[in-house]
Structure 1
Amino acid sequence: MKARIYKSTGSWYIAKAEDGVTYNARIKGIFKLEGITSTNPIAVGDEVDMDIEAVQEESAIITHIYDRRNYVARVSPHNKRQHHIVASNLDQSILVATLKDPKTSQGFMDRFLISCEAYHIPAIIVFNKADIYRKKELERFEHLRGIYEAIGYKVILASVQEGTGLDEIKALLKDKITLLSGHSGVGKSTFINAVFPQFNLRTQEVSGWSGKGMHTTTFAEMFDLDGGGQIIDTPGVREFGLVDITKQELSHYYPEMRALLNGCQFNNCMHIEEPGCAVKKGVAEGIVSEDRYVSYLGILDTMNDKEY
């Protein structure tokens, strides 16, 4: 019988069959997936075949995994040489960011967007906690919105506490499988509880001494939405390490740079010191935002081709 994975706890999975019944499922043997060396052979969002093991206990054995149409992966927090598939078969992703308590860095945002670009997953950026923003944060929001909307990303200012922006986000979620990601403490679980109170997820305050969020979600989990569609809540991510991307390819995942690459004098241009570089010309002319270019150089600098 065919089913979709709704939760993974490492060795056991919660799978929902096409008839709506959920099963505790485990893997039969070890899956060798073509070209994927991830720490988790099966991820939330995967479509699988399974055999019922015990009807009363609603347990099953996963016998086959279908090809993924896409997935988001990050460097494994436990092993820098392996990667961890966050979720698969997505229609879109929402990055929940905050400009204070905790502050989401532009580097983190760009790494997430690069990962989505690499796997052809449309991304939306939601800046939460608008209710605590002062003039400085609101000016920063307008600046960032200008940058990201100009290159095709949808940007929403929201406050879960005050209910701002929630209807717009709710409309975007309808009939889609959406990945929800961001640092711990940005309000992902609070957001889900506000929009879909039936889930009643645990939430925690931002840690006072570090200004960082405390982890409340330990495993990725999928939820069915009342109006149609699913949302996948993920553990708070401190860092988003890119995988399977070489230094040479990095600029291809910046939409505003991708549009200019054919204009570079050298087809292996890294857009740093090379003469006749269309990307650097684009920065000088304001076509490519200086912030994004600096972020590109920063990410490039941290990339070790052996690890990516």
Structure 2
Amino acid sequence: MDGTVYKSTGSWYTVKSSEGVFYECRIKGKFRAQGIKSTNPVAVGDHVEFELETIGDETLGIIHGIGERKNYIVRKSVKLSKQTHIIASNLDQVFLLVTLNNPPTFTSFIDRFLVTAEAYEIPAVLLFNKMDIYGDEEKYEVNNLIDIYTKIGYSCIQIEAKESKNIDKVKKLMLGKTSMFAGHSGVGKSTLVNALEPGLKLKTAEISEQHMQGQHTTTFAEMYDLSFDARIIDTPGIKGFGIVDMEKHEIGNYFPEFFALKSECKFHNCLHLDEPKCAVKDALEKDEIAASRYRSYLQMLTGEEDSPYR
């Protein structure tokens, strides 16, 4: 039988068959998908082959094959640094929810996420949430960020998930597609899904006053069929986003504004550091490239983890 993975708990997988029936499945033995060193060989969004087995009164599925992935979003495994964790696969687009505070989302995190999406050719949209709680200074800062990312070519939408403001714009982008929502815990992913589809009633939680961080309400990635011809993958909050499997000379290619200038650099293998006649460094000095983006690039180049700057 063929189906699509809708939920993964690490040992059990909820699979929707091509006939529309959901089955609880397990993996047959140990196998790796596409040779990826991953902590989870099967991810939400995967197309799988499975067989049904009846044990007592229960009918369970055994997954014995994974179809070729169109794409996937991957990050470093939290516990095993040399392995990766596939968050979701076969995506049409990703939405990254960004909040200035409660909790803060720094540009280093945004840029790492966007670079990963670029590397796997997945269109990304930035959703600036909780606009209703910001003062004038914070709104000014959001507009600056929107200006930076819009110029590069990313779609940016200001939303208020609790008040359902601009939810119709998000819904329009989702029609006929499989989308993933990502971001730190507490940025409002589950609240947004509930605003899009109130009948789901996903669990939400308040921000921890002590640490101004979100509480994990989504434990595992899970896909939902929505009533307006769309599918959404809700994911657990991501603390950090370590990029994986990228050579130093490749990283700049996933910054669209760097890639656009690459042919104007004197050296074809320019790393945009100290090389003479570097078009990227020239653009940076003229404020044609955002300083925050260049800082993020340097951080990725040196292998540093996320750092707390905006």
Calculate the TM-score normalised by the size of structure 2: 0.95
- How far apart, in 2, do the equivalents of 1:21 and 1:283 lie? 54
- How far apart, in 2, do the equivalents of 1:245 and 1:57 lie? 44
Structure 1 runs, 4 residues or longer, greater than 4 Å off: none
- How far apart, in 2, do the equivalents of 1:187 and 1:171 lie? 19
Amino acid in structure 2 at the alignment position of 1:246: E
Kept after mapping to 2: 8 A contact 1:94/1:124: yes
Amino acid in structure 2 at the alignment position of 1:10: G
Q: Which residue of 2 aligns with 1:175?
A: 176
SS in 1 for 2:52: strand
| Pairwise CA RMSD | 1.4
How far did 1:303 drift?
A: 4.7
Kept after mapping to 2: 8 A contact 1:247/1:303: no
Amino acid in structure 1 at the alignment position of 2:259: R
SS in 2 for 1:99: coil
Which stretch shifts more, 260-269 or 115-124? 260-269
- How far apart, in 1, do the equivalents of 2:110 and 2:244 lie? 15
- How far apart, in 1, do the equivalents of 2:183 and 2:32 lie? 30
Amino acid in structure 2 at the alignment position of 1:27: I
SS in 2 for 1:248: helix
Q: Which residue of 2 aligns with 1:48?
A: 48
- How far apart, in 2, do the equivalents of 1:88 and 1:50 lie? 18
Amino acid in structure 2 at the alignment position of 1:36: I
Q: Which residue of 2 aligns with 1:114?
A: 115
How far did 1:227 drift?
A: 1.2
| 1:46-195 equivalence runs, <5 A | 46-54=46-54, 57-195=58-196
CA deviation string 1:13-55 (max 9, x = no partner): 0000011100001111111333311111100000011111129
| 1:187-226 equivalence runs, <5 A | 187-226=188-227
Q: Which residue of 2 aligns with 1:16?
A: 16
- How far apart, in 2, do the equivalents of 1:35 and 1:262 lie? 34
Which stretch shifts more, 16-25 or 158-167? 158-167
Amino acid in structure 2 at the alignment position of 1:252: N
Q: Which runs of 5+ in 2 are unaligned?
A: 306-310
How far did 1:57 drift?
A: 2.9
Which stretch shifts more, 169-178 or 32-41? 32-41
Which stretch shifts more, 120-129 or 208-217? 208-217
CA deviation string 1:67-103 (max 9, x = no partner): 1010000000111111000000000000001011111
- How far apart, in 2, do the equivalents of 1:100 and 1:129 lie? 9
CA deviation string 1:246-298 (max 9, x = no partner): 22211110000011111111222211111111111121233322221122123
Kept after mapping to 1: 8 A contact 2:33/2:42: no
Kept after mapping to 2: 8 A contact 1:256/1:287: no
- How far apart, in 2, do the equivalents of 1:198 and 1:53 lie? 33
Identity %: 47
For these two proteins, the number of residue pairs brought into alignment is 304
Q: Which residue of 2 aligns with 1:283?
A: 284
Kept after mapping to 1: 8 A contact 2:129/2:187: yes
Kept after mapping to 2: 8 A contact 1:264/1:278: yes
- How far apart, in 2, do the equivalents of 1:270 and 1:108 lie? 21
Amino acid in structure 1 at the alignment position of 2:28: K
